[in-house]
């Protein structure tokens, strides 16, 4: 329906980027990204009523549509430029021909257009490959479109690393030289740090995150953001990952904390209970990084006891005749120690109530 509506308004419609690449490679893609050679916002105004506009994004002239429970992103063909290395791209012109749109893209493999038509009431398509992307897919090669590409947007280095792992591709020899040149004198003055961190985050969410992290360190890709990271002890990284393997754990946050070289002081505490709740309130990834940095043995203790919980509440103490006040925290502190050192004696709530009765007078 979108294609029909566009063609009747003399607008060309394309798939481009990941969806075309994945299709040629034989992988499934979930995103439906459509590009039109015109303004997506203007186009959305002419769509039939069955297609709902979910949101409009004037910065890049894109719209999100909802049709038959499916989200469809429509982007406008456009030219962009980077006034400074690493900054966000600035849109120059909307509605340009694809021969112009292609120039803003990262790799040749992500720059293949698939034009959609309706012929005899049937959807049909034609591949338009302006940059030999298909040849690079076949030879498993990552190649940017011009020599300034990594300087304009160094996140492309990280996107490339992720594609290399995901598809078992490699950078072309020339790209390797371009990347080396960039990393020998990275320009960070106008760098959008958040953007770089979000691409780091995306690549560390992928499997095999450990190998990707190693590659980031060994090839010094971190230089996009940081001059140097402290020597990374990969065995220790493995130990930490093993220790937290059962946890709901954001590996990307962990690796980024390591790259940021976040400093930690050994946690001070007045009671084991205080320490326990301090650690429980820390994000798992931060706790993992804390352990990597400090080797504080309390983390091992915490991980062993992380499922600890009290079965009684303050209301139970009130029912036992205690008055709310300092005594409450004393009871919970002592009960905590008793339970942690002897968990098999505290199977039920009654066990805890009996323990309170035996150890405190109301
Ligand atoms: P994925 O499978 O990870 O979603 P993708 O290539 O579809 O891969 P997107 O981030 O959705 O990734 O980007 C869609 C398209 O937009 C890319 O294929 C590429 O053509 C272009 N693109 C995305 N990021 C950049 C960038 N940093 N520089 C240039 N072009 C980009």
pLDDT tens for the chain, 362 residues long, are 788 888 888 899 999 999 999 999 999 877 778 999 999 999 999 888 889 999 999 999 999 999 888 888 999 999 999 999 999 899 999 999 999 999 999 999 999 999 999 888 899 999 999 999 999 999 999 999 999 999 999 999 999 999 999 999 999 999 999 999 999 999 999 888 888 999 999 999 887 889 999 999 999 999 999 888 888 999 999 999 999 887 667 889 999 999 988 889 999 999 999 999 999 999 999 999 999 999 999 999 999 998 899 999 999 999 999 999 899 999 999 999 999 989 889 999 999 999 999 999 87
Residue 88 lies in a domain: yes
Q: Are 135 and 175 in contact (CB under 8 A)?
A: no
Range of the domain at 253: 229-304
* Predicted TM-score of the model (pTM): 0.85
Q: Is the Cβ atom of 293 under 6 angstroms away from ligand 1?
A: no
Same domain for 61 and 77, yes or no, is yes
- What are the backbone dihedrals phi and psi of residue 115, each rounded to the nearest 5 degrees, phi first? -80, 135
For residue 111, the ligand 1 atom closest to its alpha carbon is 20
- What is the CATH number for 177? 1.10.110.30
Query: Residue 191's Cα: distance from chain center in Å?
Result: 19
- What is the CATH number for 12? 3.30.460.10
Same domain for 133 and 147, yes or no, is no
Same domain for 40 and 83, yes or no, is yes
Q: Is the Cβ atom of 106 under 6 angstroms away from ligand 1?
A: yes
Ligand 1 center to residue 262 CA distance, Å? 30
Residue 309 lies in a domain: no
Ligand 1 center to residue 159 CA distance, Å? 8
Same domain for 42 and 120, yes or no, is yes
Q: Which residues of 207-228 are buried (b: 16+ CB within 10 A; e: fewer)?
A: eebeebbeebbeebbbbbbeee
What is the Cα–Cα distance from 240 to 217, expressed in whole angstroms? 17
Q: Is the Cβ atom of 17 under 6 angstroms away from ligand 1?
A: yes
Q: Is the Cβ atom of 296 under 6 angstroms away from ligand 1?
A: no
Same domain for 202 and 280, yes or no, is no
For residue 19, the ligand 1 atom closest to its alpha carbon is 7
């Amino acid at each position: 329906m979108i294609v029909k509506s566009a063609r009747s308004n003399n607008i060309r419609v394309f798939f481009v980027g990941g969806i075309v690449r994945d299709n040629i490679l034989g992988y499934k893609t979930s995103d439906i990204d459509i590009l039109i050679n015109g303004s997506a916002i203007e186009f959305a105004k002419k769509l039939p009523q069955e297609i709902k506009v979910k949101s409009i994004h004037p910065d890049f002239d894109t719209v999100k549509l909802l049709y038959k429970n499916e989200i469809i992103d429509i982007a406008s063909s456009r030219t962009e430029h980077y006034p400074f290395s690493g900054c966000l791209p600035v849109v120059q012109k909307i509605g340009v021909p694809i021969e112009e749109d292609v120039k803003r893209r990262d790799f040749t493999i992500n720059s293949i257009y698939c034009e959609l038509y309706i012929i005899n009431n049937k959807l049909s398509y034609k591949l338009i490959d302006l940059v030999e992307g298909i040849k690079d897919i076949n030879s498993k090669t990552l190649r940017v479109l011009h020599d300034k590409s990594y300087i304009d947007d160094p996140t492309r280095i990280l996107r490339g690393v992720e594609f290399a792992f995901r598809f078992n591709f490699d950078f072309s020899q020339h790209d390797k030289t371009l990347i080396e040149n960039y990393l020998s004198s990275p320009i960070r003055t106008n760098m959008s740090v958040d953007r770089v961190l979000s691409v780091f985050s995306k690549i560390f969410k992928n499997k095999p995150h450990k190998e990707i992290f190693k590659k980031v360190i060994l090839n010094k890709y971190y230089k996009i953001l940081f001059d140097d990271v402290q020597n990374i002890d990969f065995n220790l990284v493995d130990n930490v990952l093993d220790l937290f393997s059962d946890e709901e754990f954001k590996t990307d946050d962990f690796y980024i904390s390591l790259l940021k070289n976040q400093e930690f002081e050994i946690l001070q505490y007045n009671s084991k209970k205080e320490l326990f709740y301090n650690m429980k309130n820390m994000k798992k990834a931060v706790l993992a990084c804390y352990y990597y940095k400090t080797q504080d043995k309390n983390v091992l203790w915490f991980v062993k006891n992380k499922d600890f919980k009290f079965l009684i509440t303050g209301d139970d103490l009130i029912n036992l005749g205690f008055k709310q006040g300092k005594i409450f925290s004393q009871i919970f502190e002592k009960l905590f120690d008793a339970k942690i050192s002897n968990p098999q004696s505290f199977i039920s709530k009654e066990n805890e109530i009996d323990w309170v009765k035996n150890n405190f007078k109301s």
